[in-house]
Amino acid sequence: MSDKEIQLATFAGGCFWCMVKPFDTYPGVVKVVSGYTGGHKENPTYAQVTAGLTGHFEAVQITFDPELLSYADLLEMFWRQIDPTDDGGQFADRGSSYKTAIFYHNEQQKEMAEASREKQAERFNMPIATRILPAKKFWPAEDYHQDFYKKNPAHYQAYRRGSGRDAYIASVWEKDEKDE
């Protein structure tokens, strides 16, 4: 695969631990990296980001092959992982570093992200807090954050359940799928 064939998608959906697994197993995803973006500090650390000192979001950067997986499909997966109406963070994680955003890498991604946000506004019938922002430098998080769901499966599962993310996703999307 040449560099011309792969693309990047960058999403902030609250805790980055919870955003890796949903994307990691899809055909066409080359890799998913947890990290920080959108802020002003070079080489931010987890402690600095979560203390609100850098302006960064916790995010995942997905390298994907658009011949196998479309950006539109990635957007749909993203929306199904978050509460797009919450402007204070996501689930148990509160604060600016846990807010949601789509970071676009080109004009086509921007247009697709905006259209997908409009679709979510219709679905939720509430204001959508998820921002659509130009991609900035992405800083990979510390190694212990990478592939957390694989390295610490029991902790990961307990965190997801305890945060309220899984219950929310089930209540919104399972109900929606039954109605279709």
18 catalytically annotated: no
* Cα(140)–Cα(138) distance, integer angstroms: 6
- Annotated catalytic residue within 8, 9, 12, 15: 15
Tokens standing for residue 21: 């697994």
Q: How big is the chain, counted in residues?
A: 180
The C-alpha R_g of the chain, in whole angstroms, comes to 15
- Running DSSP on this structure, what letter comes out for residue 171? I
* Cα(62)–Cα(7) distance, integer angstroms: 8
- Decide: 121 and 127 in contact? Cβ < 8 Å: yes
* Cα(148)–Cα(37) distance, integer angstroms: 19
The phi-psi region of residue 38 (left if phi > 0; otherwise alpha if psi is between -120 and 50; otherwise beta) is: left
Q: How far is CA 116 from CA 48, 107, 123, 154, in A?
A: 32, 14, 11, 33
* Cα(90)–Cα(99) distance, integer angstroms: 6
Question: Which residues form the catalytic set?
Answer: 15
